[in-house]
Amino acid sequence: MVTQKEIQHVAKLMKIELIDPSIYERVDKMLGYFDILDSAGVESEEIIFREIPITNLREDKYIPYNEKLIEKLNHYKGTYVRAPKMV
Amino acid sequence: MDIKISALQFTREVKSGNLSAEEFMAKTLEQIQKVEEKLHAFLSLNDNALKQAKEIDKKIKLGQKIGKCFGMPISIKDNICIKDTKTTCASKMLENFVAPYDATVITKLKQQDAIFVGKVNLDEFAMGLTTEFSAYGPSRNPWNTDYVPGGSSGGSAVSVSAFECVASLGSDTGGSVRNPASFCSTVGYKPTYGLISRYGLISYANSIEQIGPLTRTVEDTAFMLNLISGIDSNDDTTVDNHGEDYLKNIDSGIEGKKIGIIKEMIGDGIDPAVLSATKDAISKLEGLGAKCEEMSLDMVKYSVAAYYTITATEAGSNLARYDNLRYGYDFSVEGYEFNSYIEKARKKLGPEVTRRMILGGFVPSAGHAGKYFLKALKVKNKLTRQINDAFKKFDLLIAPTVPILPFKIGEKIDDPVALFLVDINTVTANLTGKPAISIPFAISHGLPIGIQLIANSMDDKLLLQAAHALEKTVKLPEVPI
Amino acid sequence: MTKIGLEIHCQLTKLESKLFCTCKANYREFEPNTNICPICMGLPGSLPRLNQKAVEKATMIAMALNCNTPEKIAFFRKNYFYPDLPKNFQITQLNVYGDTTVGGTGTLMVGEKKIRITRIQLEEDPGRLIYEGSSEKNQITLVDYNRAGTPLVEIVTEPDFENPKEVREFLNILSDLLENLDVSDPSLEGAMRADANVSIEGGNKVEIKNIGSFHDLEKAVHFEITRQQSLHSRDIPIIQETRHWDDKRKITVSSRSKEEDLDYRYFLEGDIPWIKINEETKEKLKTEMPESISSKKQRYITKYNIPTQVAEVLSSDKFYSNLFENAHTKENAKEVANIITTDLMGLVDTREKRADSKLKPSHLKEIADSIQSGKITRNSAKNALYEIVKMGGSLSDIITKLDLGNITTESELSKIIELTISEEPLAVEQAKSNPQTINFLVGKVMQKTKGKADPKLTLDLLKKMI
């Protein structure tokens, strides 16, 4: 069971404005379904991941991007990107 | 002229001069004009498609070197970047985003003279399995337009099924290629993780998703895979397949192969028609000399919960960049404080994406990761161990692609858990990185049923050989459009 | 007891390209937002392409700080929204699934004191925010992404420092070490930054961020200790918090409590597989590592008989030690060391002066050899050095141009001494009765020869001639 307050807290974290009131019920239902994970009995399981040798990595070489990316961007003033004010 | 031909037929015919690429393209565009209003597969069309086809014909006439696609019309899911083309992810958030580069798969197909006829519909940011969550409206199933085409690569499956293109590229995070392929009666392929570069695919859950082709035949899939697979320096997760030719010896058959029937994927909740089709497929495979035997992967029970936990977490992070500061839509930053601006800007994300963002913020958070995210990773790991063990005994695994028949538009959209369960048979291949294919197998009450085969990592060639063998046992009616 | 711990961020400025893309690692020479590409701007569909050399150099740093280096390293995402972070997450490293950062626990000696290193991680630097005018009036924030994706190594220490002086000594040693490894130029603005955490009497830990320079770091730590001591003496509890260094007022101020607690939701970066670094690679890196400062110092002392203090200065500064290595021979080593540490240091004491200097190792060698062969005096050498640093050119030309050549023949020198004796009869008389005062006459001769006469020869001749 997840509380409305918890959902509001997460929404802030994720920069999501909650408009649709049905979201509480739906998210609660989804999370409720995830409870099944508790009975999977996987506590002792390790986390493994794909591996590659260091030699597969990119060579350290400077290659400038061949287009003026800045001109394709939103909100740019002269040469800077404009962001909202920080408080 | 027939536009209902396979990719291999198309390339053979154009190469031999029996078919003009331009004429074929014109017919294809005509078909699009005819059916789009009903089906809504496309989000945007390539205005230069006809001109590009004309160029191909000219090259052939002049005897110039030409790529293996010979001007074949291909549709591309709108989460794959084509340079200087809108790539919206079916989201209002990216309605004006023009990709400044080509995805690796696009670069490769361009080199082979493919023509991208247009960008096709999907659930917003590929989150969904019905294409109903597209911000630009749902696509419809050509077999019955009241029904969903599956998703998230719904536009891909519809466009192939309704002859609006010869082949399509979709992306498969938890079944997003195989599910709509099954619902629309096309072949749908999810390769071994890393076989196809993801560079230029807009990430949803990057640790498990792959680009995959949707085609009319298994041979066409092998043909496409030959063109787009292989290691890519732009994607550190790609694997080297040493230039494997997937078409070569595709008719090797499956005699003597051992096939495991995944018990957990034909259990509770399966539609009787789907179950009987699966049994039929098994007996056909046995008829071809394969040995089929029931087996168990008990982690499948937890796979959907693990899948949604992992995908929500990765999506929450992958979609964080959509703050409208560097690209996006017109909305001035003036007068806003940072946090409130980002919240306002992100209101363009649709309801399903919004819900997944909340889940994605919750399940890996400091207080909850132990209960949700970490357990999900462990289920993923245990499932992988189980399936690896299974492949010590079996060459292939079989299950229906989707345990139920296509359903009506609007029928399940409000029940998230019911929607979750539609994914139960497809997410295993994603969580374990294995290749899997959906083959059109039966039609029940006018609705398609697909059969899924799964192989071990890098056994993509074996998988295609088996799928090809099964496909040859099937004769299906033509799509009623 | 006061406990201070540090988190030092060091850019790998000596790399060619950024951590995940081929844009320039050293972004300083660019116009705003011109050193960017789809990858470092986090455009949809872009993927990180890890720089091999960045992993190697970070591993070298770990080795130089005596850290454990794991068999495989992993990257994680640190999720938070900020305008300087194009993806709204930072790719960094953590040790949650075993030790997977480039460096585990290690140590660095500061004099006799052992400072423990907690871990070393490789990560990407964010872009830069530019605030125009006063912060109250600012309606918007400007962002320059040139720095976004610059390879950054974070070195975290245990709270082993007891006072600001130890912190400063540690940072000096560390910065020399990093420069010597040829991974970074710590003198570049912003190349090295540090945060500190401070606690006293076993109390709560306070983090101090936003410290612009190492100089300020010392001040900030000092201020924070005093602040905490003052609270402690009045029995006011010290709260665990993050404080910002206010550069203008030179105090630490409590960071405004955030609307929500940050929760970084760390998880594995799926776009980068784990990287295997096998023993063979590590051995290779070890052989490629430049000689350490302490080993260099020892070599200078034992092999060339250079005094300990001179050897220390010479070995700890990469610029000087490089000059020395390329200029010295077995015979002139001491002389070269001497020229560098007595005459050159004052001439090239800033980064700009070093960049502008025209001095080459071959110059130094020639000057040292000329002194040893008696061609020029030490005094003339100093003048020549000044000229060469400024203008370059060949030593012989400069000797001619400035008339620095030694007066080596006795006859020539005798003439000048004769002249001096005739001009200074009083001093001559004095010198006769009191030999100590003869130095006055030597000085007069030196004046006349502009320091080109050999002082010893002059004295001998003078003694004979009066």
Spatial separation of the C-alpha atoms in residues A26 and B415, rounded to whole Å:
8
Cα–Cα distance between C465 and C417 in angstroms, integer? 8
Complex ipTM: 0.96
Half-sphere exposure for B336 (CA within 13 Å, toward CB):
17
Residues linked to residue B151 through DSSP beta bridges, in sequence order: none
The C-alpha atoms of residue C124 and residue C90 are separated, in whole angstroms, by: 7
Q: How far is B195 from chain A (nearest CA, A)?
A: 14
The pLDDT of residue C68: 96
Average of per-residue pLDDT values in chain B: 97
Chains in contact with C via at least 3 Cβ–Cβ pairs below 8 Å:
A, B
Neighbours of C312 (CB within 10 A): 18
What pLDDT does C135 receive? 56
Q: Pick A37's closest partner by Cβ from B306, B344, B355.
A: B306
DSSP assignment letter at C197: E
Check CB contact under 8 Å for C45 and B103: yes
Whether B180 and B156 have beta carbons less than 8 Å apart is answered as yes
Query: Is A18 inside a domain boundary?
Result: yes
**Residues in chain B, overall count:** 481
Q: Which of B226-235, B445-454, B464-473, C288-297 has the lowest mean pLDDT?
A: C288-297
Q: Mean pLDDT across the stretch C354-375?
A: 87
Give the pLDDT score at A67: 84
Residue C408 has pLDDT above 70, yes or no: no
Q: Which domain holds residue B33?
A: 7-252+437-471
Identify the closest residue of chain B to A32 by CA–CA distance. B417
For C63-89, what is the mean pLDDT? 97
User: Nearest CB to B343: which of A6, A15, A82?
Assistant: A15
Contact between B327 and A72 using a beta-carbon 8 Å cutoff:
yes
Tell me what pLDDT residue C130 has: 87
**Ranges assigned E (strand) in C235-332:** 241-246, 251-254, 267-268, 274-276
**Which SS3 state, helix, strand or coil, does residue B227 take?**
helix
> What span, in angstroms and rounded, lies between the C-alpha atoms of C425 and C293?
57
In a domain, A59, yes or no: yes
Question: Would you call C47 and B235 a contact, using CB atoms and an 8 Å cutoff?
Answer: yes
Closest CA to B338 of B346, B328, B349: B346
Q: Chain A: residue nearest C276 by CA?
A: A53
A8 neighbors A16 (Cβ within 8 angstroms): no
Q: Write down the residue that tokens 């070197």 correspond to.
A: B65
Tell which of C37, C102, C280 to mutate to test the A interface (max A CBs under 10 Å): C37
Count of domains forming chain B: 1
Least confident of B455-469, C76-90, C127-141: C127-141
The answer to whether C466 touches C421, Cβ cutoff 8 Å, is yes
Task: Please tell me the total number of residues recorded for chain A in this structure.
Answer: 87
C144–A contact, CB cutoff 8 A: yes
Q: Any chain A CB within 8 A of the CB of C277?
A: yes
φ and ψ at residue B440, rounded to 5 degrees: -60, 130
C176 near C121, Cβ under 8 Å?
Answer: no
Q: How far is CA B345 from the centre of its chain?
A: 29
pLDDT tier at A43, thresholds 50, 70, 90? very high
Confirm or reject contact between A31 and chain B (CB < 8 A).
yes
Q: Which of B309, B320, B358 sits opposite A11 (nearest CB)?
A: B358
Are the beta carbons of C31 and A79 separated by less than 8 Å? yes
Burial (CB count within 10 angstroms: exposed 0-12, middle 13-18, buried 19+), residue B105? buried
B190 forms bridges with which residues in the sheet? B436
Lowest mean pLDDT among B195-199, C147-151, C335-339, C426-430: C426-430
Q: Could you tell me if residue B70 is inside a domain?
A: yes
Please choose, from the candidates B147, B188, B148, B149, the residue with its C-alpha nearest in 3D space to the C-alpha of residue B171: B188
Q: How confident is the model at residue B316, as a pLDDT?
A: 98
Tell me the per-residue pLDDT of A65-87, one tens digit each, with 9 for 90 and over: 988 888 887 767 678 998 998 87
Q: Is residue B476 part of a domain?
A: no
Q: Return the ∠ at Cα C434 (arms to C431 and C438), rounded to 5°.
A: 40
Return the closest-CA partner of residue B22 out of B59, B54, B67. B54
Pairing outcome for strands C206-209 and C241-246: parallel
Nearest CA in chain B to A14: B361
Q: How many CB pairs under 8 A join B and C?
A: 101
Q: Give Dmax (Cα) for chain C.
A: 95
Helix (H, G, I), strand (E, B) or coil at B216: coil
* Model pLDDT for residues C218-242, shown as the tens digit of each residue: 999 999 999 999 999 999 999 888 8
Query: For residue C223, what pLDDT is reported?
Result: 95
Residues of C in contact with A15 (CB under 8 A): 81
> Is B335 part of any domain?
no
Question: What CATH code is carried by the domain that includes residue B59?
Answer: 3.90.1300.10
What does the alpha-carbon distance between residue C398 and residue C393 come to, in Å, rounded to a whole number? Answer: 7
Q: Which of A2, A12, A73, A74 has the most B C-beta neighbours within 10 Å, making it the best mutation to test the interface with B?
A: A74
Instruction: For residue B358, give the nearest of A19, A27, A39 by CB distance.
Output: A27
Residue A86 lies in a domain: no
Q: Which pLDDT value is given to residue C429?
A: 83
Distances (CA, A) of B153 to B81, C83, C143, C302: 15, 33, 37, 73
Instruction: Give the pTM.
Output: 0.91
The mean per-residue pLDDT over the stretch C81-92 comes to: 97
In a domain, B214, yes or no: yes
Q: Does residue A35 sit within a domain?
A: yes
Which pLDDT does position C256 carry in this prediction?
Answer: 64
Helix, strand, or coil (residue C440): helix
- What is the strand order of the sheet C128-130 is part of? A76-77, A80-84, C140-144, C128-130
Taking residue B48's Cβ as centre, other Cβ atoms within 10 Å add up to 12
What 3 state SS string does C208-245 have?
Answer: EECCCCHHHHHHHHHHHHHHHHHHHHCCCCCCCEEEEE
> Are residues A54 and C263, on separate chains, in Cβ contact within 8 Å?
no
Contacts 24+ apart (CB under 8 A), B134-139: B134/B43, B134/B90, B135/B88, B135/B90, B135/B91, B135/B92, B135/B95, B135/B350, B136/B40, B136/B43, B136/B88, B136/B90, B137/B40, B138/B40, B138/B409, B139/B39, B139/B40, B139/B41
Give the Cα separation of C154 and C177 in Å (integer).
Answer: 15
| Closest by Cα among C426, C452, C453 to C440 | C426
Q: Which of A2, A47, A85 sits opposite B381 (nearest CB)?
A: A47
Nearest-CA distance from C272 to chain B in Å? 6
CA pair distance C386, C392, nearest whole angstrom: 10
Does C265 sit within 8 Å of B313, measured CB to CB? yes
Neighbouring CB atoms inside 10 A of C331's CB total 12
Please report whether residue B105 resides in a domain. Answer: yes
Name the strand (E) or helix (H) holding C269.
none
Tell me the C-alpha distance between C278 and C290, whole Å.
21
Neighbour tally for B330: CB within 10 Å: 8
- Listed in sequence order, the residues at least 6 apart from C394 whose beta carbon sits closer than 8 Å to its beta carbon are none
CA–CA distance from C126 to each of A16, B122, B177, C89, C90 (Å)? 23, 33, 36, 10, 8
A80 touches chain B (CB under 8 A): no
- Indicate whether B286 belongs to any domain: no
Nearest chain A Cα distance for residue C225, angstroms: 28
Query: Which chain C residues touch A8 with a CB distance below 8 Å?
Result: none
Query: How far, in Å, are B412, C131, C141, C212, C248 from residue A86 at the CA level?
Result: 43, 10, 7, 19, 19
Instruction: Give B301-357 pLDDT, tens digit per residue.
Output: 999 999 999 999 999 999 999 999 998 888 988 889 999 999 999 999 999 999 999
Nearest one of C24, C304, B367 to A10, comparing CA atoms: B367
Chain A residues contacting C via beta carbons under 8 Å: 9, 12-13, 15, 46-47, 49-55, 57-65, 68-70, 73, 76-77, 79-86
Please report whether residue B160 resides in a domain: yes
Among B89, B342, B364, beta carbon nearest to C265: B364
- Write out the DSSP string of A37-70: GGGS--TTPPP---EEEGGGSBP------SS-GG
Cβ pairs bridging A and C (under 8 Å)? 128
State residue C132's pLDDT score: 65
Sequence-separated contacts (24+) of C417-421 with Cβ below 8 Å: C417/C445, C417/C458, C417/C461, C417/C462, C417/C465, C418/C465, C419/C448, C420/C444, C420/C445, C420/C448, C421/C465, C421/C466
- CA distances to B279, C292, C335, C337 from C341, in Å: 89, 20, 10, 6
- Encoding tokens for residue C385? 């050095």
Alpha-carbon distance of C4 to C161, in angstroms, equals 5
Q: How many residues does chain C have?
A: 466
List, by residue number, the catalytic residues of B.
77, 152, 176
Cβ-based contacts of A58 with chain B (< 8 Å): 233
- Closest among B140, B165, B160, B135 to B150, alpha carbons compared: B140
Average pLDDT over residues C86-110: 95
Sole residue written with tokens 């004979």: C464
Phi, psi of C156 (to 5 degrees): -110, 130
Residues of C at the B interface, defined by Cβ within 8 angstroms: 38, 41-50, 77, 79, 81, 83, 86-89, 139-141, 143, 259, 263, 265-268, 270-273
Q: Is position B379 within any domain?
A: no
Q: What is the dihedral of CA C324, C326, C329, C335, to 10 degrees?
A: -30
Q: CA-CA distances (angstroms) from residue C319 to C57, C119, C287, C314?
A: 20, 29, 22, 9
Are B79 and B210 in contact, with CB atoms under 8 Å apart?
Answer: no
Its domain, for residue A67, covers 4-81
End-to-end distance of chain C based on CA atoms, in angstroms? 71
- Please tell me which of the candidates B237, B327, B355 has its beta carbon nearest to residue A73: B327
- The answer to whether B365 contacts A23, with C-beta atoms less than 8 Å apart, is no
pLDDT given for residue C384 in this prediction:
84
- Cβ atoms of B5 and B451 within 8 Å: the answer is no
Nearest Cα residue in chain A from C261? A13
- Answer yes or no: is A87 within a domain: no
Question: Which DSSP string corresponds to B400-442?
Answer: ESSSS---BTTSSTT-HHHHHHHTTTTHHHHHHT--EEEEEEE
Q: Which chains touch B (3 or more CB pairs under 8 A)?
A: A, C
Q: Which domains does chain C have, with CATH numbers?
A: 2-283 (no CATH), 291-401 (no CATH), 410-465 (1.10.10)
From the CA of C126, how many Å to the nearest CA of chain B? 14
Tell which wins on pLDDT, B261 or C464.
B261
Would you state the pLDDT for residue B420?
85
Report the domain count for chain A: 1
C55·A49 Cβ contact <8 A: no
Percent of chain B with pLDDT over 70: 100
CB C229 within 8 A of CB C200: yes
Q: Which residues contact C290 (CB under 8 A, 6 or more apart)?
A: C180, C181, C182
Calculate mean pLDDT across residues B268-289: 97
